Chain A
């Protein structure tokens, strides 16, 4: 059985339904040439995604932070604004794209991280503003987000907290990182401990939970970065507690491989 390139690509990207996926997985076992073509799609994806990942870590220029934070646009650099013309806007679907972590990736994630417990997040109280501030060309947690990152243990969460901690782990660069979600703001992200503060290399829209304790997951943009950075496995409850006791200083402890 032969498959066209788009089908193999969709397989590599986890875009096929379960029946088709199983059918192709079986075909791949029997046909090394098909398997090679799928591997090629996966390799290009990894190469392209990997090439641009460093941009997330480079400091955000001050002018962009100023642009995003200032309330007047007198100094606009957009020619369309200066001319006063109407800018075409994309029509948005009434419902947001789901941005969900796909099942296949969950499987890979669970296998590689050995997550012991389901992380349950729920929509709760309105949160204070200023959870994330811009400082020194980067985004830094502040307010109740910073407090939660400092002190909240994922293992002790009831799901009612305004900030929910997901995974905590030691990164390859010997720093502790923690994923978080702020349900009231539909936001999730990753924070890493650098020089006594929680720097935030990525945030993403988090799917809003419906009802109590609905288990959701970090959005793909956050999960990808976790996978890129994690050294070894996510911290278990004891590891999380001892990291907190150490003030999230990794010290000289080498990361496990």
Chain B
């Protein structure tokens, strides 16, 4: 099997640019998702009237529709309403819309894992609702949510693979172009796989380490 290493080296800079774009979009998508998740789960926790229903509906809609359709809708459909968004904006909005509901679920399950008796225990020493959230619920909820939050980050990074469909110059499009132009199918696919491993493996390891540290700090195992 002849691998054209020369070709690989020459395409490195193309891939490097594409990786940068992918990571950049993923970063913002993840960040905004976390923000949406925090706000959403807080609304559900404090049982805010009206808004709670909105959050629940949002979560169901975003979890039961594909990201591809969401961004097609944004990129091709919205301009017809007079709202034209750049491909990057659509990408980030799409990722955040989808990610937000997953993060919300992760935070919510962490919060619900704090037992009622812990809450009553806190109430019995006179803690107010906000103090309860701050000193009792959030610290415990966080270490329970962390694995899910981490998995969601990885999930969002993987989902960036579809952004090429709206003309973003990500690694998928670079690969497609290279195959189409130079017919170096094997080398291009090899690079594609390597690039994803490079992006995802460190993140996965980092998150596992973070989980272990937080769990030890909180619970000693």
B and A form one assembly: no
